[in-house]
A and B are shown apart, each in its own frame.
Chain A
């Protein structure tokens, strides 16, 4: 399988600060590719640039062979790239099911005008759409909560809901920004299982995560960012032993943990 996403010399400047500095990236279709690096190394900025929420200062991003310069983030979602956010952006005033339904927007045949004109296919689509969303909720282990307000759920479930909503857009590539943040250690295993299930269903996953043991066990490939530069890339085994990575990021803590 080929590359689903390619980033070509991506740079992003905020005022005087270079948040990304000529990052090159190629994501293998069907893999789990993690981005790691210390806080402020530019991981989330990279996600923002890849998904078009942020305009790169220079460089090119291609998704499924197409240059995505200049298009809106929602159009990127329609092309098949979905994401979650580090600081959890769910719809707080909508039920769990409604949250996921919104994610279906790019996959519906009903257009704006079908708000008023509703032939049978529109109502049928609406029904099958709800069923589809219930399946997705089931897939993510949230079906029992479908009519609840998300703010009444534990934080880990809210994070999961955001994943479900992203899955509803039927992505080919899913970008997860710290999905395990706020998840009790005991439940990280479930989340891992979910991500592997997502991979198994044929969706490529990009992952930002601080929990290193999780990253090491799940990733096919890892890229390491430091001060906006990619300093290393390889399999978990290669990263674990890369001296530059150990020095820049993993540092003593990592070595201590290893011992």
Chain B
């Protein structure tokens, strides 16, 4: 009975959020704001991927901007050099990045501890070095121009509003896939691995295998996000994917709530919009981000989603207490 009510409550919540998301461009008739939301959603996709790793295996990637950038370049180059349609090259970028993640995860994720974090920092640096130095392919520090936009049935997604709706739908799909993962047996096994490695192995869970898979999926999300970014902006440069961006992605997780479904999206929206309204402090952007991250880690470790959950829990408990006494 309570389960049913809980389910319908979350269905209402989803419907409400969906309606708000779809109506947003009509309510806020501000092109620039919509553009910011598009960026927030694209970063949200990457943050969602990072969350699959950090939230569900406890491991840290400090190089997700590298995956993001690699996805952007793979997708852009496929479209520019080989004429692959944007949608297809985005999917290919996701698949390529999955294998890239597996490749990088294999040597590091079988070790206990946080070796992955340093390997991903190095990976991020190397990717930037390669993007800058392989001029013949990537056109070096100047970046790639003239990336074709996404086209659906002849309709090209160039306006902010059309890109916004595409991003909303994509985020919804990726969120749905992520929730399937979390609820599946694989999600259960990942939680087990985070809880205890030896115990998991004793349950027949191949710890390294599950972790590497999660890391692959995590990199895949980043790759898809990168592909979408490339075809939205039609221009990318190596400098958009440097390691401070990797940290910014982690900041989004911390703010939104590590290990929660909606946290990364909420975090990315806040962390994208906030600096815009604090533009007077543009020079302090990175510091504000870092300080905010530390303060949240110490004071609100569950992030915004955790905060709401505990608030809702408190209210819910009070009302159900009331019901219980009434029933008696």
Contacts and interface: CB of A to CB of B under 8 A. Distances in A.
Q: Is there direct touching of A and B in the complex, by C-beta distance under 8 Å? A: yes
Interface of A: 51, 53, 72-75, 77-78, 82-83, 85, 89-94, 98, 101-108, 110, 112, 114-116, 118, 126, 129, 165-166, 168-169
Given A101-B185, A105-B185, A112-B186, 4 more contacts: A72-B206, A73-B202, A103-B204, A165-B203
Interface string B155-191: 0000000000000000000000100110011111101
A51 B204 CA distance: 11
B206 A94 contact: no
B244 interface: no
Contacts of A91: 191-192, 195-196, 199
B201 interface: yes
A93 B191 contact: yes
B180 A118 contact: yes
B192 A102 contact: yes
A177 to B, nearest CB: 11
B192 A85 contact: no
A106 B181 CA distance: 18
A102 B201 contact: no
Contacts of A94: 188, 191-192, 195
B202 A83 contact: yes
Contacts of B180: 115-116, 118
A115 B198 CA distance: 23
B207 interface: yes
19 contacts: A51-B202, A74-B200, A74-B204, A75-B206, A77-B201, A77-B202, A77-B204, A82-B202, A92-B196, A98-B188, A101-B188, A102-B188, A102-B200, A103-B203, A105-B203, A105-B205, A114-B184, A115-B180, A165-B203
A91 to B, nearest CB: 4
A93 B195 CA distance: 7
B185 A110 contact: yes
A116 B181 contact: yes
Contacts of B207: 74
B185 A126 contact: yes
B205 A115 contact: no
B293 to A, nearest CB: 24
Contacts of B73: none
Most B-side CB within 10 Å, residue of A77, A102, A106: A102
A172 to B, nearest CB: 13
Name, among B177, B185, B187, B206, the residue most crowded by chain A CB atoms within 10 Å (CB to CB): B185
B189 A105 contact: yes
B67 interface: no
Contacts of B210: 112
A186 B201 CA distance: 33
A53 B181 contact: no
B191 to A, nearest CB: 6
B199 A115 contact: no
Contacts of A105: 185, 189, 203-205
Contacts of A116: 177, 180-181, 184
Nearest to A80: B204
A104 B204 CA distance: 8
A195 to B, nearest CB: 18
B201 A72 contact: yes
Contacts of B177: 116
Contacts of B198: 53, 85, 89
Nearest to B187: A115
B215 interface: no
B202 A166 contact: yes
Given A53-B198, A74-B201, A91-B199, A102 B206 contact: no
Contacts of A77: 201-204
B205 A74 contact: yes
A235 B157 CA distance: 80
The 8 residue pairs across chains A and B that have the minimum distance between CB atoms: A106-B204, A77-B204, A89-B199, A115-B186, A115-B184, A91-B195, A74-B206, A102-B192
Contacts of A129: 185
B187 A102 contact: no
B99 to A, nearest CB: 14
B213 interface: yes
A115 B191 CA distance: 14
A129 B189 CA distance: 14
Contacts of B184: 110, 114-116, 118
Contacts of B202: 51, 53, 73, 77, 82-83, 85, 89, 166
Interface in B182-236: 184-189, 191-192, 195-196, 198-207, 210, 213
A112 B203 contact: no
A94 B205 CA distance: 16
Contacts of B188: 94, 98, 101-102
Nearest to B189: A105
Nearest to A114: B184
A143 B79 CA distance: 57
Given A89-B196, A93-B195, A73 B201 contact: yes
Contacts of B187: 115
A112 B186 CA distance: 6
A177 B204 CA distance: 18
Interface string B76-102: 000000000000000000000000000
A252 B63 CA distance: 64
A103 B180 CA distance: 20
